């Protein structure tokens, strides 16, 4: 019975198929084929004289990762006006229906069958792959990550059950991808019958949740900081007046309409501008969020209901539930967790809101600018210049000067507040900020030998293998501390570590670091990341965890033992994505023993859960330190 069900035809139709261009620059040709969809396969056959001929191809349903329309090419002939694409594990197939009704029927049927497939795409290519490149984004690799959010994903993705952790083929990771729970009900009546964007589409489960009642609001976040005034300086507050009163928060807009919220957010115009407002349903709240991350130059505003689960916990993304609105907002200020972007910039309706350009900092972390003398420039980057400075005429410090417009207020506070919470001998010490006017200063300890990457290139040949391993061990210690404190660095590389006068190494550059509650962070669409240091789940799905940091640590070890060589130096980023996804890994550097190479190689398992933790890496590295030192002495 089951076999009959699996082989029974769901849909059959004569469609036009484009050749799959398995050679990058091969010409396109088009053939009429009889397509047959069953529960297990999509097959296509020759068709002549009203009879099905030999089968010319077949795609297993379980391997399909995306089914979606394709934007028309210029001067498309009449018979190819209704294209759609089938992206599967081993390739990309373009098919043309005879009319819109036929295309919609195939999309609906195929998407129904692939629902719950383990490796569905979050993003896809909306344009054809022609003459060796995608027309939508000009990427020249067929396996390149998509450039357009796939709207159907949120309804087709089904999270794995706990305990399901079977090995998967490359490049799919074993982590689940929690999506935000959006809604389609609007605050004002609408006559539009157009299906809303996927972030506003009804997910099914969300609408069945009971409306939540007003909760007592406790404003204590998990790491002990106070989340209520993330942009009012660096002091902690415990005022009892603040508890239970949403009006205190700069992101709470109260009783304003959907249209008014959109107007205010567009006026702000910043990626991640947001506010929380009362919904039209009494006792419920809506999060309104602005983003430029979709293909819209003007940006878009999305609206998300705050839902309640059976345990009376509040959530936007079902896997992330909280006791109060402030805790929920605080979490999503650090993690997009499936929304279009993080909640970055609170937009207030209060007339007395302090301008962000005035007095960004105060309290114990605010330093007196006049006490810092700038001595010489150490380097520069996209945010500004780093100087050697003298603090209070006696302490050497590094001063990161952030010029106006180069670093957002959100990015500045993210980096500074992260550094405040982290104190460890293998992390660069944070002293404070000068944030009351531009240029803003972030003041840290001065590390005399500078960037690890530059040091390896200029002095590496004079270092023994034991010293190289010691450097790796220092970084591993710092990262193990981050791991234990539930922080993900997200940009670990030799260029972001510093070498002190005694050759000890400290981890630095915490601009991308995030605090996480569950060892997982999903970045917002469009976020830049260093491809050659990134794990497969990062460049395919934007998923970060301590295990993606472990992957980067393996690359850093390779950098150290190759004395500062560029990883994958023969390949560009898109080629690296393909190679790594196919299972290729970096070769063993000449200075690395087989045992050391085995350690770095263990960091590059395609499944995050199969990679070691930093604590396990420390346990593997530490015994080698003494062994290598003894071997060098004997040698």
Asked whether 473 and 622 are in contact (CB, 8 A), the reply is yes
The yes-or-no answer on residue 323 being catalytic is: no
| DSSP annotation string for 282-325 | TT-EEEEEEE--SS-TT-EEEEEEPEE-TTS-EESBTT-EESSH
Residue 104: Cβ-neighbour burial (10 angstroms; 0-12, 13-18, 19+): middle
Kindly tell me the burial class for residue 241, based on how many C-beta atoms sit within 10 Å of its own C-beta (0-12, 13-18, 19 or more): exposed
| Active-site option among 250, 474, 491, 549 | 491
C-alpha–C-alpha distance, residues 526 and 340, integer Å: 10
Q: Which is nearest to 553 in space by CA: 452, 485, 629, 455? A: 452
Shortest CA distance to 289 belongs to which of 320, 251, 325?
251
**CA 405, CA 403: separation in Å to the nearest integer?**
6
Enumerate the β-bridge partners of residue 506: 498
Q: Quote the DSSP letter at residue 213.
A: P
Q: Give the residue from 419, 429, 439, 420 showing the smallest Cα distance to 369.
A: 439
Which of 542, 544, 545 minimizes the C-alpha distance to 123?
Answer: 542
Phi, psi for 70 (deg, rounded to 5): -130, 140
CA 615 to chain centre: 24
**Residue 171: is the preceding peptide bond cis (ω within 30°)?**
yes
Cα distance between residue 455 and residue 268, in whole Å: 43
Residues identified as active-site: 491
């Amino acid at each position: 019975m089951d076999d009959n069900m699996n082989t029974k035809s769901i849909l059959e139709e004569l469609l036009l198929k484009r050749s799959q261009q398995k050679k990058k620059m091969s010409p396109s040709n088009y053939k009429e084929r009889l397509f047959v969809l069953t529960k297990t396969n999509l097959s296509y056959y020759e068709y002549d004289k009203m009879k099905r001929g030999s089968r010319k191809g077949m795609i297993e349903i379980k391997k399909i990762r995306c089914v979606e329309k394709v934007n028309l090419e210029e001067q498309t002939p009449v018979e190819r006006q209704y294209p759609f694409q089938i992206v599967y594990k081993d390739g990309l197939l373009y098919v043309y229906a005879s009319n819109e009704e036929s295309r919609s029927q195939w999309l609906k049927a195929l998407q129904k069958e692939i629902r719950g497939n383990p490796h569905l795409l979050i993003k896809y290519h909306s344009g054809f792959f022609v003459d060796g490149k995608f027309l939508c984004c000009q990427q020249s690799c067929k396996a390149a990550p998509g450039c357009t959010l796939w709207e159907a994903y949120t309804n087709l993705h089904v999270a794995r059950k706990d305990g399901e952790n079977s090995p998967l083929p490359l490049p799919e990771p074993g982590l689940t991808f929690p999506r935000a729970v959006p809604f389609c009900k609007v605050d004002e009546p609408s006559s539009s019958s157009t299906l809303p964007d996927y972030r506003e589409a009804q997910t099914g489960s969300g609408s069945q949740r009971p409306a939540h009642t007003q909760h007592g609001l406790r404003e204590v976040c998990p790491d002990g900081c106070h989340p209520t005034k993330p942009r009012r300086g660096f002091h902690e507050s415990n005022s009892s007046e603040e508890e239970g009163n949403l009006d205190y928060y700069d992101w709470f807009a109260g009783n304003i309409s959907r249209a008014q919220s959109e107007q205010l957010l567009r006026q702000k115009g910043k990626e991640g501008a947001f506010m929380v407002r009362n919904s039209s349903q009494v006792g419920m709240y809506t999060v309104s969020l602005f983003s430029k991350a979709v293909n819209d130059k003007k940006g878009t505003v999305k609206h998300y209901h705050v839902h309640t689960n059976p345990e009376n916990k509040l959530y936007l993304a079902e896997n992330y539930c909280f006791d109060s609105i402030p805790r929920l907002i605080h979490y999503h200020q650090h993690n997009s967790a499936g929304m279009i972007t993080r909640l970055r910039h609170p937009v207030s309706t209060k007339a007395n809101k302090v301008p962000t350009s005035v007095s960004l900092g105060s309290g114990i972390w605010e330093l007196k600018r006049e006490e810092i003398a700038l001595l010489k420039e150490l380097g520069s980057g996209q945010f500004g210049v780093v100087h050697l400075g003298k603090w209070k005429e006696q302490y050497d410090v590094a001063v990161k000067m952030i010029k106006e417009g180069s670093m957002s207020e959100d990015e500045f506070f993210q980096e500074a507040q992260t550094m405040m919470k982290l104190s460890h001998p293998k992390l660069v010490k944070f002293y404070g900020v000068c944030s009351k006017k531009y240029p803003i200063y972030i003041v840290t300890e001065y590390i005399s030998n500078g960037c690890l990457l530059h040091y390896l290139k200029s002095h590496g040949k004079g270092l023994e293998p034991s010293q190289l391993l010691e450097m790796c061990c220092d970084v591993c210690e710092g990262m193990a501390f981050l791991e234990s404190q539930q922080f993900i660095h997200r940009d670990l590389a030799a260029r972001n570590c510093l070498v002190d006068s005694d050759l000890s190494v400290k981890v630095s550059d915490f601009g991308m670091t995030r605090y996480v509650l569950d060892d997982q962070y999903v970045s917002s669409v469009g976020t830049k990341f260093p491809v050659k240091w990134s794990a497969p789940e990062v460049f395919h799905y934007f998923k970060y965890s301590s295990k993606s940091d472990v992957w980067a640590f393996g690359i850093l070890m390779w950098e150290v033992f190759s004395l500062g060589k560029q990883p994958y130096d023969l390949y560009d980023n898109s080629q690296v994505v393909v190679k790594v996804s196919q299972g290729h890994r970096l070769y063993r550097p000449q200075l690395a023993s087989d045992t050391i190479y085995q350690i770095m190689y263990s960091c590059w398992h395609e499944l995050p859960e199969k990679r070691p933790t930093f604590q396990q890496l420390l346990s593997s590295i530490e015994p080698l330190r003494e062994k290598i030192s003894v071997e060098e002495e004997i040698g």
